[in-house]
Amino acid sequence: MKKFIVIIGVIIILGLLTAGFVYWLAVSPVKADSVDFTVHKGETSAVAANQLKLAGLIRSKTAFIIMSKLSNLKLKAGAYKLPTNPTPDSIINVLQLGPRAGDEKTILIKEGVNNKAIEEYLKTNNLIIDGSFLKIATTLIGNLPAEYQKFDFIKEAPKKVDLEGFLFPDTYRLFINDGGEQLIAKQLNNFDNKVTPEMRAEIKRQGKSLYEIIVMASIVEKEVRSTADMKIVAGIFWDRMKNSQRLESCATLAYILGVNKLQYSYEDTQIDSPFNTYRNDGLPPTPIGNPGIRAIEAAIYPEYTGYQFFLTASDGQTIWAKTFEQHKANKAKYLK
């Protein structure tokens, strides 16, 4: 019995000594100036402990891992500024709070912009400058890494087109160290959530593909501004296709020429391009930009009004016509 008590006593003493040692490590500072420390996506406390030890910011990886578990530390990717002369507990306190707002970047993708324009915006604003966005955005869907192939809309899309049209326009927040891969993953997830199962069922009921809808939506997005006008324009364009007429969309000319004009010339309409809907039947081969949800909904749920023609006046107002004669009169009146 005495031997058992002695053993228990030794265990308790060792436990107290171990706890005391861990506590000493927890409150024992390491001499260091305030330093930046980055946690990358998917990193565990063990990985972070190794990086901290290599940087000379903690004395013991094991003690840090134990304290992390006791603190129920949930690491969030991002950049952190560690305190001067840090201790493990002070580091854990900083990591518990998550990255500072200043360590994130806000990226605004406007409705209708194409992938090249997004790349220019990212570089001009010093948001993502390594070309990683455009590299993925212009990769043919059939050649995309497996992580992007999990989406049904990607699986169903043509394999020899890129991600134009699927990179959903919205405001995104990324960590400072995130690149094009993270932005595109967020955009694809957003697209998958915004285009609901009900919308996809309606597309299927109409006998169309989601890709056709996105191509149409990308044109509608660039033609008019309001939600109501988008629905009417979508109805006009779907009617033209149903009646074997060409779309004759000025938005496709703007895409080819890289410039918006109030009125395009006859020479403009004769440009040799697969995107020229004045010379080619049906939809262009790919979207001409990344449409927002209003344009996508308009392409799925168009409004059929009996209008056959429209134009945008210099003040942005949409002018409708039911006959070609009315349309010619409107052009003479509003396009001066």
Asked whether the predicted pLDDT for residue 78 surpasses 80, the reply is: no
CB 304 within 8 A of CB 182: no
What global pTM score does this model have? 0.73
Burial 197-236 (b: 16+ CB within 10 A, else e): eebbeebeeeeeebbbbbbbbbbbbbbbeeeebbbbbbbb
At residue 19's C-alpha, the angle toward residues 17 and 24, to 5°, is: 90
* Structure confidence by residue, pLDDT tens digits, 90-105: 888 888 877 765 667 8
- Binning pLDDT at 50, 70 and 90, where does residue 29 land? low
pLDDT of residue 63: 81
pLDDT of residue 243: 95
Give me the half-sphere count of Cα atoms (radius 13 Å) on the Cβ side of residue 144.
27
Q: Which of 8-22, 81-95, 302-316 has the weakest average pLDDT?
A: 8-22
List of E strands, 189-335: 309-312, 318-321
pLDDT of residue 258: 92
At 13, list the tokens.
């003493």
pLDDT of residue 237: 98
CB within 8 Å of 221: residues ≥ 6 apart: 111, 112, 230, 251, 289, 291, 292, 294, 295
Q: Which amino acid is at 314?
A: S
Asked whether the predicted pLDDT for residue 223 surpasses 70, the reply is: yes
Q: Which of 40-49, 114-123, 217-226, 237-246 has the weakest average pLDDT?
A: 40-49
pLDDT of residue 64: 84
Start-to-end CA span in the chain (Å)? 107
Asked whether the predicted pLDDT for residue 83 surpasses 90, the reply is: no
Q: In the chain, what are the domains? A: 20-99 (3.30.1490.480), 104-194 (no CATH), 223-334 (no CATH)
d(CA 61, CA 160): 49
What value does the mean pLDDT take over residues 133-156?
A: 95
Dihedral angle sign, alpha carbons of residues 314, 255, 149, 42: negative
Asked whether the predicted pLDDT for residue 146 surpasses 50, the reply is: yes
pLDDT of residue 89: 80
Q: Which amino acid is at 310?
A: F
At residue 106's C-alpha, the angle toward residues 105 and 111, to 5°, is: 150
* Residue 190 phi, psi (nearest 5): -65, -45
What value does the mean pLDDT take over residues 126-153?
A: 94
* Residue 173 phi, psi (nearest 5): -110, 125
What value does the mean pLDDT take over residues 304-327?
A: 92
- Element containing residue 174 per DSSP (H, E): strand 171-175
292 or 87, which is more confident?
292
